[in-house]
Amino acid sequence: DQQVKQNSPSLSVQEGRISILNCDYTNSMFDYFLWYKKYPAEGPTFLISISSIKDKNEDGRFTVFLNKSAKHLSLHIVPSQPGDSAVYFCAASQETSGSRLTFGEGTQLTVNP
In contact, 41 and 26? CB cutoff 8 Å: no
For residues 8-47, which are near other proteins according to CB under 8 A? 32, 34, 36, 41-46
Specify which residues 110 forms β-bridges with.
12
Closer to other proteins by Cβ: residue 13 or 34: 34
CB of 56 to other proteins, least distance (A): 18
CB of 20 to other proteins, least distance (A): 21
Integer Cα distance of 86 and 89 in angstroms: 10
Among 80, 104, 107, 109, interactor with other proteins by CB under 8 A = 104
Instruction: Quickly count: other Cβ atoms within 10 Å of residue 93's Cβ.
Output: 19
Integer Cα distance of 35 and 94 in angstroms: 15
Q: Does 59 bind other proteins (CB under 8 A)?
A: no
Integer Cα distance of 80 and 75 in angstroms: 12
CB of 16 to other proteins, least distance (A): 28
Q: Which residues bind other proteins (CB under 8 A)?
A: 1, 32, 34, 36, 41-46, 49, 89, 91, 93, 95-106
